[in-house]
Structure 1
Amino acid sequence: MAAAIRWLFRIFVTLALLAGLASAALYWFMARSLPDYDARLEVAGLDAPLEIVRDNSNVPHIFGETDADVFFGLGFAHAQDRLWQMTLMRRTAQGRLSEIFGARTAATDELMRRLDIYNLARQSLGAQSDETMTALEAYAAGVNAWVSEVNTGARGRGAPEFWMFEPQIAPWSPADSLAMIKLLALNLGTHLGEEVLRARVSLALDDPERLRDILPDAPGQGVAALPDYAALVPGAGQGATRLAAATPDLWPVAERGLGGASNVWAAGPTRSASGGTLLANDPHLAFTAPTLWYLARLELSSGGVIGATVPGMPLVLLGRSERLGWGITASYADDQDLHIEKVNPDNRNELLTPEGFKPMRSRPSILKIRDADPVTLTLRWSENGPILPRRQFDLSEITPPGHVVSLSWTALSPEDGSMTAGLELMRAGDVDAALAAAEGFVAPGLNLAVIDAERIAMKTIGALPRRRDGHASKGRLPTPGWIAENRWDGILPYDANPVFADPAGGIVGNTNNKVVDRPFPLHVSYHWGDTQRIQRWRRLMQNREVHTRESFMEAQLDTVSPTARSLLPLVGADLWFTGEAAPEGTPERLRQRALALLAGWNGEMNEHLPEPLIYAAWMRALQTRLIADDLGPLAAEFTHLEPLFVERVFRNIDGAAGWCDVVQSARVETCTDMARLALDDALIWIDERYGTALESLRWGDAHEALHAHETLGGIGGIGWFANIRQSTSGGDNTLSRGLSRGTGTNPFTSVHGAGYRGIYDFADPDSSVFITSTGQSGHPLSRHYDDLGDLWRRGEYIPMTLDPDLARAAAVGVTELIPAGRAE
Structure 2
Amino acid sequence: MKRFFILNCYRRLMRTYIRNTLILLVLLALTLFIWITQFRYSTDRTGEVQVSGLQNQVSVGYDSFGIPHITAENEEDLYFALGYVHAKDRLFQMELMRRLAQGQLSEIFGERLIETDTLFRTLGIHRHAKNYVSQIDKSTPAWTALEQYIAGINAYQNEGNLPIEFDILGLAPRPFKAEDSISVSGYLAYSFAVGFRTEPVMTHVAKNLGEDYLDIFDLDMPKQTQLAQVDFTTLESLAKVANHSLLPSAISQYEGSNAWAISGAKTQSGKPILASDPHISYAMPGVWYEAHLKAGDYEFYGFHQALVPVALMGHNRHFGWGLTMFQNDDMDFYVEKLNPNNSNQVVRGDAFETLKQFEETITVKDANPVTIAIRESSIGPIINDIYPGFSKDNKAQPVSLWWAFLHTENPMIEAFYQLSRSENVEEFGKTLEGIHAPGLNFMYADSDDNIAWWSAGLIPKRPAHVAPWLMLDGSSGQDLPTEYYDFSYNPHELNPADGFIISANQRPRTYQDLMVPGYYNLPARADRLIADIGMQNTTNLEQEKQNQRSIRSHYAQRALSTMLNELGDAERAKLPENVLNELNQWQGEFSLDSVAATLFTEWQFATIEQAFADEFGEELFALFTRTRRADHGFYQLVEQSDHPWWHQDGKSLSRTDIVRQSFDIAKDRLTQNLGPNPESWQWQQVHLFEQQHPLGSVKPLDKLFNLGPVAIHGTHAVPNNLSQQLGTGIQWVKHGPSTRRLIDFSHPESSLSILPAGQSGNPFDKHFDDQWEMYINDQYRTVDLNFKADKKLILTP
Structure 1 length-normalised TM: 0.88
**Partners of 1:134 and 1:124 in 2: how far apart?**
15
Report the counterpart of residue 438 of structure 1 in structure 2.
432
Residue in structure 1 matched with residue 174 of structure 2 by the alignment: 170
Question: Is 1:704 the equivalent of 2:688?
Answer: yes
Partner of 2:307 in structure 1? 312
1:97 equivalent to 2:81? Answer no
Change (3 A) 1:697 1:504: same
Q: Is residue 560 of structure 1 aligned with residue 552 of structure 2?
A: yes
2:151 corresponding residue in structure 1: 141
Does 1:674 pair with 2:674?
A: no
Give the secondary structure class of the aligned counterpart of 1:784.
helix
For residue 771 of structure 2, what is the aligned residue in structure 1? 788
Structure 1 segment 352-391 matched on structure 2, within 5 A: 352-391=347-386
Residue pair 1:340, 1:403 contacting (<8 A) in 2 also: yes
Q: In structure 2, how many angstroms separate the alpha carbons of the residues matched to 1:531 and 1:34?
A: 46
Measured after TM superposition, the shift of residue 518 of structure 1 is 6.2
Q: Is it true that 1:516 corresponds to 2:509 in the alignment?
A: yes
- The answer to whether the Cα contact below 8 Å between 2:262 and 2:501 also exists between their aligned partners in 1 is yes
Alignment pair present for 1:69 and 2:73: no
Query: Take 1:76 and 1:793, find their aligned partners in 2: how far apart are those partners?
Result: 30
In the other structure, the counterpart of 1:199 is: 203
Matched, 1:233 2:216: no
The alpha-carbon distance between structure 1 residues 482 and 8, as it changes in their structure 2 partners (threshold 3 A), is: farther
CA separation of 1:10 and 1:119: change in aligned 2, threshold 3 A: farther
Query: Whole-Å Cα distance in 1 between the matches of residues 321 and 250 of structure 2?
Result: 26
2:640 is equivalent to residue 652 of structure 1: yes
Q: In 2, Cα distance between the equivalents of 1:131 and 1:238?
A: 47
Root-mean-square deviation (CA, aligned residues, Å) is 3.0
Q: Where does residue 296 of structure 2 map in the other structure? A: 301
Cα distance between partner residues in 1 of 2:383 and 2:393 = 11
**Partner letter of residue 446 of structure 1?**
L
What is the CA deviation profile of residues 749-808 of structure 1, one whole-angstrom value per residue up to 9, with x for unaligned ones?
111000111111111112311111110011122211111121111111111221133xx2
Paired AA for residue 48 in structure 1: N
Instruction: Pick which of 623-632 and 30-39 moved more.
Output: 623-632
Structure 2 counterpart of 1:83, one-letter code: L
Q: Deviations over 1:638-694 (max 9, x none)?
A: 4379444334334327x42x43343366xx644234333322322222222122633
Between the aligned partners of 2:540 and 2:41, the Cα distance in structure 1 is 43
Change (3 A) 1:715 1:22: farther
Paired residue for 2:244, among 244, 247, 255?
247
The residue type paired with residue 223 of structure 1 is M
Contact 2:181–2:308 (CA under 8 A) maintained in structure 1? yes
Are residues 400 and 716 of structure 1, via their aligned partners in 2, closer, same or farther at CA, if it must alter by over 3 Å?
closer
Map of 1:822 onto structure 2: none
- Residue in structure 2 matched with residue 772 of structure 1 by the alignment: 755
Identify which range, 119-128 or 326-335, moves more after superposition. Answer: 119-128
Cα 1:650/1:478, change in 2 over 3 Å = closer
User: Which residue of the partner structure matches residue 816 of structure 1?
Assistant: 794
Tell me if the contact between 1:382 and 1:406 (Cα under 8 Å) persists in the aligned partners.
yes
Please give the per-residue CA displacement for 1:302-329, whole angstroms capped at 9, x wherever unaligned.
4321132112111111110122110110
Long gaps (5+) in structure 2? 1-6
Q: What amino acid is the match of 1:609?
A: S
What is the rounded CA distance, in whole Å, between the counterparts of 1:5 and 1:478 in structure 2?
78
Q: Does 1:181 align with 2:185?
A: yes
Give the alignment of 1:613-692 within 5 angstroms. 613-633=598-618, 634-639=620-625, 642-652=630-640, 655-656=642-643, 658-663=644-649, 669-691=653-675
Q: Tell me how far 1:245 sits from its aligned partner.
A: 9.2
**In structure 2, what residue type is equivalent to 1:447?**
N
Question: Which residue of the partner structure matches residue 3 of structure 2?
Answer: none
Q: Identify the residue that residue 570 of structure 1 maps to in structure 2.
A: 562
Matches within 5 A, 1:264-279: 264-279=259-274
The 2-side partners of 1:148 and 1:53 are apart by 23
SS in 1 for 2:552: coil
User: Are positions 1:209 and 2:204 aligned together?
Assistant: no
Answer yes or no: is the 8 Å Cα contact 2:234–2:396 preserved in 1. Answer: no
Q: Which residue type is aligned with residue 215 of structure 2?
A: R
Partner Cα distance (1:486, 1:698) in 2 = 51
Partner Cα distance (2:674, 2:272) in 1: 47
Select between 436-445 and 401-410 the one with higher mean Cα deviation.
Answer: 401-410
Give the aligned residue type for 1:617.
E
> Cα deviations across residues 48-84 of structure 1 (Å, max 9, x unaligned)?
1001111011111001101111111111111111110
Equivalent position to 1:107, from 102, 112, 115: 115
Paired AA for residue 740 in structure 1: Q
628-637 vs 367-376, which moves further: 628-637
CA drift of 1:238 comes to 7.9
Distance across 2 between alignment mates of 1:571 and 1:108 = 40
- Contact 1:43/1:818 (CA < 8 Å) preserved in 2? yes
Q: 1:130 to 1:13 in 2, by over 3 A?
A: same
Deviation at 1:413, TM superposition (A): 3.8
User: Aligned with 2:759: secondary structure?
Assistant: coil
Work out the CA distance in 2 between the residues paired with 1:69 and 1:309. Answer: 17
1:546 offset after TM fit, Å? Answer: 2.4
Distance, in Å, in 2 between the alignment partners of 1:109 and 1:501 is 43
Question: CA offset at residue 464 of structure 1?
Answer: 1.8
- What secondary structure does 2:768 align onto? coil
For residues 222 and 36 of structure 2, what CA distance do their matches in structure 1 show?
61
Please report how far the alpha carbon of residue 447 of structure 1 lies from its aligned counterpart in structure 2 after TM superposition.
0.6
TM-superposed deviation, 1:227? 5.5
Matches within 5 A, 1:469-548: 469-471=464-466, 474-517=467-510, 522-548=514-540
- CA–CA distance in structure 2, aligned partners of residues 591 and 643 of structure 1: 29
Does the Cα contact within 8 Å between 2:442 and 2:456 map onto a contact in 1? Answer: yes
Residues 1:287 and 2:285 are matched in the alignment: no
Question: What is the distance in 2 between the residues matched to 1:455 and 1:404?
Answer: 50
Secondary structure of the residue aligned to 1:737 is: coil
Query: How far 1:225 moved relative to its partner?
Result: 8.0
Indicate how the Cα distance of structure 1 residues 350 and 604 shifts in structure 2: closer, same or farther if over 3 A, else same. Answer: same
**Distance (Å, rounded) in 2 between the aligned partners of 1:145 and 1:162:** 17
- Which residue identity lines up with residue 218 of structure 2 in the other structure? D
Deviates further, 246-255 or 544-553 = 246-255
- In the TM superposition, residue 296 of structure 1 has moved relative to its aligned partner by 1.2
Q: Given the alignment, which residue of 327, 345, 349 partners 1:350?
A: 345
Aligned with 1:415 (options 409, 418, 439): 409
Matched residue of 1:337: which SS?
A: strand
CA distance in 2, matches of 1:625, 1:398: 34
Q: Post-superposition shift, 1:450?
A: 1.2
Question: What percent identity do the matched residue pairs reach?
Answer: 27
Deviations 1:710-741 (A, max 9, x none): x2121022113321123211111110101113
Amino acid at match of 1:770: S
Amino acid at match of 1:469: A
> Partner of 1:403: helix, strand, or coil?
coil
2:333 alignment counterpart: 338
Which of 717, 732, 741 is the matching residue for 2:700? Answer: 717
CA distance in 2: counterparts of 1:660 and 1:190, whole angstroms = 26
Output the CA distance in 2 between the equivalents of 1:304 and 1:67. 11
Q: Which residue of 1 aligns with 2:221?
A: 223
Alpha-carbon displacement from aligned partner over 1:17-50 (angstroms, at most 9, x marks no partner):
6655655555445431221111210001111100
- Of 123, 128, 135, the residue aligned with 1:120 is 128
Structure 1 residue 355, shift from structure 2 partner: 4.4
Match of 2:597 among 587, 608, 612: 612
Structure 1 residues 164 and 445, CA, compared in 2 at 3 Å: closer, same or farther?
same
Greater shift, 539-548 or 623-632, is seen at 623-632
CA shift, 1:5, in A, is: 8.1
* TM-score, scaled relative to structure 2: 0.91
